[in-house]
Structure 1
Amino acid sequence: MYHLLKLGPVQLSQDTTNVYLRVTSAGDFAPPVFEHDDEAGVQALLEGVEPSGVSCEPGLAEVAERLGLRVESPPLEVLSARAAIGTFMAWEQRGVAGLGADKALLFVQAATEFYEARPWKHWDDSQPFHISVSGALTRTYEGSVFGGEDGGEGLALYEQAGALKVLMDLQGSGKDAAASQLPAIGVTLDTRPEYAIQALAAAGRAPRLPLPLKTGPSGVSMPSLVEALVLVATLRAVARLDLTRREALSTVVAGQEQMSVRVLAPQPRVRN
């Protein structure tokens, strides 16, 4: 069975379009089709397949009726495939697609665990976490968790001990530019673009786009593949913390090696 779905509208450099997807029940998908019109998009997806083996998502019911196609809600595997495609498209627009589609899937799952745990309810962004990494990479970071309920949640891992105090001092002195140049890697959970957020929410994921980044004196850039995996593992470890558990371990595979990330949280600050 092929499932036809819509993603969009998607803002391109000089235009706005929709993306139409043909996904199998197992989550495999054909190359996306870019069209402005639902009927044109669906007809393009029908090329080379039998209409009797196709169903349209409810959002395409009107065009499905005109073309004599069945309408049914897609299974979770299909919705997850659309969410992955939407995330990677958003990454392309934000300049981090070089990390690869497989990393996008890892970030979506880890970000969902982090978002559902809501660690910012127990700790604020001035409290340092101790992050130790071993395996494919061996180093320590000073971590910070931040967020609220309106977007912009995430975490930052600073390369230098005491970086959080330096950050607060710089920000308190109005030196925001200098503060943004402190060497760190991090991930923010964004509420845009809307097409990706809607696709993620429909698939039961956090309604946030995970955006990995790296900061330093040269500005904002993309983390390395190993640093991206450190962020994935840290998101998962922090998600396992709560008021009674202040230490957690998470492991990921980096190439042929296993990498472990251990997180030690400060004393929680319970908020009313």
Structure 2
Amino acid sequence: MFYLLKLGPVPLSQGNTQVQVYLRISDAGEPAAPVFESDDGAGLRALLEGVDAAEVRCEPALAAAGAELGLAVAEPSPQALSSCAAIATFVAWGQRGLSGLGSDKALLFVQASTEYWDARPWTHWDDSQPFEVAVTGPMNHTFEGCVFHMGDGRAGLALYFKPGALQMLMEMQARGQGDAATSLPAIAVTLDTSPSYAVDALTAAGRAPRLPLPLKTGPDGISVPSPLESLVLVASLRAVARLSPEQREVLSSVVAGDEQMQVRVRAPAPRVRH
């Protein structure tokens, strides 16, 4: 069985043109090459090439166009929805200049971000409370971390390279220099509320309804974390997700090349929320 799904609208890299991304994904979650079209009918016809229409189902959002082609409608399998969410994440990463990290990192971030989102650590700690994040293995460094959740719905985790960075950040903000925070050396992941096609696909697959966006800041501005730094973020997300007011120290491991990297997170005393 194959399912036909749609992502979009997706802006093209040049100009203001937007297209839809049409996907054919097997019941087991194996995708065919995506099709980029501006019309549902054209997108579905392209996806039907080389397959028996009797073995194809289109998602409910494509019911009208599918009916014109004699296609049955069905909810995609969980595996197909998961594959669609992964593709949507990687497409969105491409728009943000993150595709160089690879689709394997996108999957890791989706999984770790879902654990983090479900745990909601910001209900116990706020963004002024420093966490100790000690990394050993291919990288040996102790970061000063913090969890955050903003009024616009975004959330995430930041790991600062230097101790005292959070205090420095709060002082900058008090002086109205919040934008200068991007000069502080750090790696972070933001769980973003856009683009909507990625958030919708992640939500449909039962993942966190946010797009994970890894980033790196420093004196030269915002850039992309290295593959190793990305794994530090993944392991840290998973560790923080397992913290609680009763368990304030957690060890998380991740494979980095041929080595095992360990991330030990120690949380401060929680602040009671009213």
- Please indicate the TM-score interval, normalised by the length of the shorter structure: over 0.9
Q: 1:148, CA displacement in angstroms?
A: 4.3
Q: What are the residue-to-residue correspondences of 1:186-205 with 2, within 5 Å? A: 186-205=188-207
Per-residue Cα deviation, 1:31-80 (whole angstroms, up to 9, x for no partner): 11011111100000011111111111111111221111121111111001
Paired position in structure 1 for 2:264: 262
1:74 matched to which residue of 2? 76
Distance 2:251 2:150 in 1: 25
Superposed CA deviations along residues 67-98 of structure 1, whole A, max 9, x for unmatched, are 11121111111001110010001101011111
Give distance in 2, aligned partners of 1:233 and 1:138: 14
User: Any stretches of 5+ residues in structure 1 without a counterpart?
Assistant: none
- Normalised by the size of structure 1, how large is the TM-score? 0.97
- Which of 28, 31, 34 aligns to 1:29? It is 31
Aligned length: 272
Equivalent residue in structure 2 for 1:152, among 145, 151, 154: 154
**CA spacing shift, 1:150–1:177, aligned 2, 3 Å:** closer
What's the offset of the Cα at 1:150? 4.0
1:251 aligns to 2:256 (yes or no): no
SS of the equivalent of 1:187 reads strand
Matched, 1:230 2:193: no
Instruction: Report matched runs for 1:1-272 at 5 Å.
Output: 1-12=1-12, 13-14=14-15, 15-148=17-150, 150-272=152-274
CA contact (8 A) 1:120 1:148 kept: no
Q: Per-residue deviation at 1:149?
A: 6.5
Q: Secondary structure at the match of 2:163?
A: coil
The structural deviation recorded for 1:185 is 0.2
Distance 1:124 1:177 in 2: 20
The secondary structure found in structure 1 opposite 2:95 is helix
Counterpart AA for 2:188: G
Q: Matched residues in 1 for 2:172 and 2:180: separation?
A: 7
The separation in 2 between residues aligned to 1:126 and 1:253, in whole angstroms, is 31
Superposition RMSD in Å: 1.1
The unaligned stretches of length 5 or more in structure 2 are none
4+ runs of 1 displaced by more than 6 Å? none
3-state secondary structure, aligned to 1:248: strand
TM-score, length basis structure 2: 0.97
